[in-house]
């Protein structure tokens, strides 16, 4: 958002400063605004097209990058286009009405110029001190560089903050030669164990996930107001109670905090029912 605001303001500042220059040279407010817009119309248009062409393609990228930066890319591209349009239409009109010779000679402008001149003078004095004492400056620069490396290596970072999404994912497998009937025989008591927790609202088990010997499960927790334990705490409790579960190797994970960072759940359903019945079940699932 900060970057978008700066891009929107940037083009208008160029128009205002150029109009200000024409006023200082003695042009009328309307002539100054018209000449200013004519002089910088080409650069503003080319800069707008260039920045929009740079940001917009990021919004069409796939994977994690696209999920993270789609809104960012389209926001900046749209901001740049709006900025260029306003800079060449609304800004010249406003400068022709609001800027004049009285503004140039006003007390506010003189005060701002005085403050800028004072800051410039102090900067020049500080720069002269630094250039005349280089032997003292270099150790300070080295200290700053070392401190930057230290802060970079010791500052905690994460791709996305952990969220309590109210879901615990369970995955596991049985013996390599096991079929779905075998897996279903052991996932039934596993599901009963998960449902025995007062924090659990519902659960789901998918036998034969990816392979006949694997399974996939979900433990959906109650709303935050209805439970004291967080999803992370529940995941730890699930793992503790299922780590030595008979006939299965079970592990629990939390759902990804970012969309697009996990694979879709693929499952294969088998049944002894006729093909017509299977087709009706498929239509029910699709609906």
Helix 63-88 to helix 29-55 angle (10° resolution) is 170
- How far is residue 229's CA from residue 231's CA, in Å, rounded to a whole number? 7
pLDDT of res. 259: 59
- How far is residue 169's CA from residue 213's CA, in Å, rounded to a whole number? 17
Q: How does DSSP classify residue 28?
A: -
Q: Is the confidence at residue 266, as pLDDT, over 70?
A: no
- How far is residue 217's CA from residue 190's CA, in Å, rounded to a whole number? 10
> Could you tell me which residues come within 8 angstroms of residue 79 by beta carbon, excluding any fewer than 6 positions away?
4, 5, 7, 8
pLDDT-based confidence at residue 118 (cuts at 50, 70, 90): very high
- Under CATH, to which class is 2-105 assigned? mainly alpha
Mean pLDDT of 248-265: 68
pLDDT-based confidence at residue 119 (cuts at 50, 70, 90): very high
pLDDT-based confidence at residue 117 (cuts at 50, 70, 90): very high
Q: Select from 3.40.50.720, 3.30.70.1430, 2.40.30.10, 3.90.1300.10 the CATH code of 167-286.
A: 3.30.70.1430
In 121-246, DSSP assigns E strands to: 167-173, 200-207, 214-221
**Lowest mean pLDDT: which of 8-22, 128-142, 258-272?**
258-272
Percent of the chain with pLDDT over 70: 87
* Domain ranges across the chain: 2-105, 121-152, 167-286
- How far is residue 22's CA from residue 35's CA, in Å, rounded to a whole number? 8
pLDDT of res. 268: 58
Give the tens place of pLDDT for each residue, 13-55. 888 889 888 888 888 889 989 999 899 899 889 988 998 898 8
pLDDT of res. 257: 66
Tokens 């970079």 belong to: 152
Q: Please tell me whether the overall predicted TM-score, pTM, comes out greater than 0.85 for this model.
A: no
Q: Is the confidence at residue 261, as pLDDT, over 80?
A: no
Q: Is the confidence at residue 260, as pLDDT, over 60?
A: no
Tokens 């029910």 belong to: 284
pLDDT of res. 122: 95
Q: How does DSSP classify residue 171?
A: E
More confident residue, 178 or 48: 48
pLDDT of res. 258: 65
């Amino acid at each position: 958002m900060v970057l978008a605001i700066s891009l929107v303001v940037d083009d208008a500042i160029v128009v205002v400063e150029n109009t200000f220059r024409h006023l200082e040279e003695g042009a009328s407010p309307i002539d100054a605004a018209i000449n200013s817009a004519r002089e910088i119309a080409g650069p503003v248009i080319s800069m707008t097209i260039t920045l929009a062409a740079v940001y917009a393609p990021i919004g069409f990228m796939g994977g994690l990058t696209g999920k993270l930066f789609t809104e960012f890319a389209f926001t900046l591209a749209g901001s740049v286009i709006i900025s260029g349009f306003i800079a060449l239409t609304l800004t010249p009109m406003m400068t022709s009405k609001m800027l004049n010779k009285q503004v140039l000679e006003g007390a506010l402008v003189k005060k701002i110029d005085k403050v800028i001149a004072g800051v410039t003078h102090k900067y020049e004095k500080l720069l002269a001190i630094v250039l005349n004492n280089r032997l003292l400056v270099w150790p300070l620069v080295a200290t700053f560089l070392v401190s930057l490396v230290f802060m970079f290596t010791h500052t905690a970072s994460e791709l996305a903050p952990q969220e309590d999404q109210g879901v615990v994912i369970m995955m596991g497998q049985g013996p390599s030669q096991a079929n779905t009937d075998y897996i279903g025989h052991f996932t039934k008591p596993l599901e009963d164990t998960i449902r025995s927790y007062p924090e659990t609202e519902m659960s789901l088990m998918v036998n034969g996930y990816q392979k006949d010997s694997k399974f996939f499960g979900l433990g959906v927790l109650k709303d935050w107001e209805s439970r004291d334990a967080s999803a992370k705490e529940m995941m730890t409790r699930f793992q503790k109670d299922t780590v030595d579960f008979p006939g299965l190797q079970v592990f629990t994970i939390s759902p990804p905090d970012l969309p697009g960072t996990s694979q879709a759940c693929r499952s294969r359903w088998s049944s002894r029912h006729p093909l017509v019945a299977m087709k009706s079940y498929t239509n029910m699932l699709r609906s």
